[in-house]
Amino acid sequence: MNNIVVVKCGGSTITELTESFFESIVQLKNAGKHPIIVHGGGPAINKMLTQLQIPSTFIDGLRKTTEEVLETAEMVLCGKMNKQLTRKLQSVGAKAIGLSGTDGKLIVAEAIDKEKLGFVGEPVQINKKLLLSLLDSDFIPVIAPIGVDQSGQHYNINADSAAAIIAAELKAEELVFVTDVDGILKDKHLLPTITAEEIALYINDGTIYGGMIPKVKAALKSLTGSLQSVWIMNGKGTSLFANGTIYGTKITKKQVATTAT
């Protein structure tokens, strides 16, 4: 199947996405594209962990996930955020369906480093047949990043990594990370384009740090086959595909334009 567009919505932006954003997803569908939404939910998870008095820490931008943290993350991501996004899409006329990565083993995962990170998983396989059947039926899948291994153990998965493997395995045309920042900034200026080589340099010198690190690493891993570039953009108040243009940082395999601003 051609014309697949994977849109990853960061948890910090979900509550601030406007109706025009969801309408733009429908417009994308009506234009013959096949959007797939993958979402996070970090701030909502933080809030629930605080209410339940469950400690939580981050290591290299990833949340260390104990059994208690995993149960809370799954409750928030699958029970709240996923259904909220699905309802919003349906309210603007979309035929949307909410899923967890554990449904039909949609996202198969393995522990990254159980001693260091606990139940944080790296996605290693997706159920392509399930996703393609939903797209064939004109559904817009909305996916919560909780994965499962072959033994049935659940894992908290970074949503950027989940979106990246889905885009790569389905040979998506486009992958867009919708976040709460304009893109990758250097000295407070937006970098319109950036290459794999530059990303490594900017991680080393601290220009790219925190939660942006797993985001750009996921973007790089997804740059295979038909997917030649990945976008990181700000979703607040944005009609994502208005006039076919995106304002943000375009990550490419090779240098296509200067990154100077």
What positions carry a catalytic annotation? 8, 11, 42, 160, 215
Residue 118 tokens read as: 């606990």
Q: Binding site annotation covers 41?
A: yes
Q: Binding site annotation covers 204?
A: no
Q: How far apart are CA 122 and CA 221, in angstroms?
A: 12
Q: How far apart are CA 44 and CA 142, in angstroms?
A: 17
Q: How far apart are CA 79 and CA 67, in angstroms?
A: 17
Alpha carbon 216 to its chain centroid, in Å, reads: 11
Q: Binding site annotation covers 210?
A: no
Q: Binding site annotation covers 87?
A: no
Alpha-helical (H) ranges within 77-156 are 82-91, 114-117, 128-136
Strands (E), 115-170: 120-126, 140-144, 146-148, 154-157
Read off the amino acid at residue 101.
G
Burial annotation 82-114 (CB, 10 A radius, 16+ → b, else e): bebbbebbbebebebbbbbbbbebbbbbebbee
Q: Which residues fall within 8 angstroms of residue 49, CB to CB, at 6 or more apart?
A: 55, 56, 69, 72
User: What DSSP designation does 10 have?
Assistant: P
Q: Which residues fall within 8 angstroms of residue 193, CB to CB, at 6 or more apart?
A: 249, 250, 251, 252, 255, 256, 257, 258, 259
Q: How far apart are CA 228 and CA 256, in angstroms?
A: 11
Q: Which residues are annotated as a binding site for substrate?
A: 41-42, 63, 156
